[in-house]
Amino acid sequence: MLTVCGLTKRHANAHRAVFRSLELAVGAGEVVALVGESGIGKSTFLNCIAGLETADAGQILIGQPEKDIVTLDETARAALRAREIGFVFQAFHILPTLTVGQNIAVPLLLGRAPPATHPARIAELLEQVGLSGFAERWPATLSGGELQRVAIARALVHRPSLILADEPTGNLDPRTADEVMSLLLDQVRRQRAGALVVTHSRHVASRCDRMLTMAGDGLR
C-alpha cells in the first residue's frame, strides 16, 4: 500500500534536516501509528507522503501499480491523491457550505465512478459510520464526533488504498475519540486499505496494528 525509502526533508531556509533517510512500509489492511514529540516532523512526514510537501530525497511508493509521489508534478500528485489516498484531519475540515452528502461525494466527483452509483455509495458509507439519514444535513448542525465520522466516510468513499490520519481524535472527548477510532480501524480493515495514523495519544496508538516512534535518528 505504502513504501517509503530513504526519505529526507530539509527546512526551506536551513540545511538542517527535518528528518533523514526514513524507511516505512504499510501493508493492506494494516494500521500503523506514528508517535513522537511535538515539532519532530510527524505532520511534515505525513504531508510528504500525501504530496502536500516535497521531499528532498527518497521514494514514496503508493497504489497499485505503484507510483513514486516524490517524482510527480503537482497535478499528477493531486490525481494520485484523488485515486489512492483518503485523509482524516484533527480539525475535521468538513466544508461548511456543502451538505453532509455533498461533502462525502467530493472524492467520488474527482474520481472515475459513474455518477449514477454515487448516491448508493454515499448512503452505504453513511450507514457504516452510523449517520444514516444525515445526507441532507448541514455540517453546522453536527457535533464534533459526528463531523469526524463524516470525515472518515469522505476519506473512504472512493475506496483508496491508503488512509492518512493526522491526530484524528485530537479534538474529541475520550469517549467519542474511542468510538471514532473504532470506526476508523473497522472501516480501514473492511476495505483492506493501509493506514498511517499520526497521534499524540498512546491509547490511540495502542489500538493500531503497529506503533512507530519518530525521533531525531529516524523511525523506531
Partner 1 sequence: MNTLAWWLISAQFHSRRTATWLSMLAIALGVALGYAIHLINQAALADFARAMHRVQGEPDAVLAARDSAGSVPLAIVNQLAADPTVALVAPVIETRVRVAESLPAVRLIGVDLFSAGGLMPKLLPRPAEGATIADWLTGGVYVSPTVLARSDLRVGAPITLRRGDRLWTTRIAGDLPAMANEDLLLVADIAWVQEHFGPSDAVSEARILLEPDSAPAEWRRHTAQRLPAGLLLREADDDSARVSNLSRAYRVNLNVLALVALLTSAFLVFATQLTAVAQRSTHFAVLGVIGLSPRRRLLQILLEGLAIGFPGALLGLLMGYALAVAFTQLLGGDLGGGFFSGGVPLIRPTLTATLAFCFLGALTSVAGAIYPAYLNRRQPLAQALKIGFSPTPTGEAAHDHRRLKRLAALSLSAVALSHAPPLFELPLAGYAAIAVLLLIGIDAAPLLTHRLFSAGASLPLPATQRIALQNVAQAPLMAQVAASGLIVSFALTASMVIMVSSFRVAVDHWLDEVLPAPIYLRSKGTPLPPEVLSALRQADAPFVKVEGTAHGTLTLDPRRPDVGLIVREIDRQHPAQRLPLTGRLATPPDDRLPVVWISEALQEIYGIHPGQLLRLPLLGRDVELFVGGVWRDYSRQFGALVISRDDYQRLGGEFQANDLALWPRAGQEASAMTWLTAHTDRHGLRVSTVGEIRDLSLAIFDKSFAVTYALEAAAMLIGLFGLAVTLATSVWLRSREWATLGALGFDRRMLSRAVMLEGALIAVIGLLIGLACGVAIGAVLTHVVNPQAFHWRMPLIVPWSRLLVGAVLTLAAALLASRHAARQATRLPLAQILASGQ
Q: How far apart are CA 67 and CA 18, in angstroms?
A: 24
Residue closer to partner 1, measured from CB, 193 or 211:
193
Residue 93 makes contact with partner 1 by CB under 8 A: yes
| Non-local CB neighbours of 86 within 8 Å, separated by 6+ positions | 107, 154, 155, 156, 157, 158, 160, 162, 163, 164, 193
Shortest distance in whole angstroms from residue 206 CB to partner 1: 27
Residue 87 interacts with partner 1 (CB under 8 A)?
yes
Q: Write out the binding residues for partner 1, residues 36-75 only, by CB under 8 A.
A: 43, 47, 50, 52-53, 74-75
CA atoms within 13 A on the CB side of 104: 32
Stretch that binds partner 1, among 3-11, 24-32, 62-70, 94-102 (CB under 8 A): 94-102
81 binds partner 1 (CB under 8 A): yes
Q: Is 79 in the site for partner 1 (CB under 8 A)?
A: yes
**25 touches partner 1 by CB under 8 A:** no
Nearest to 49 by CA among 215, 211, 196: 196
For the chain, the first-to-last Cα distance in angstroms comes to 20
In degrees and rounded to multiples of 5, residue 170 shows phi and psi of -60, -30
Residue 83 contacts partner 1 per CB under 8 A: yes
Binding segment toward partner 1, per CB under 8 A, in 63-71, 86-94, 193-201, 207-215: 86-94
Minimum Å distance from CB 171 to partner 1? 8
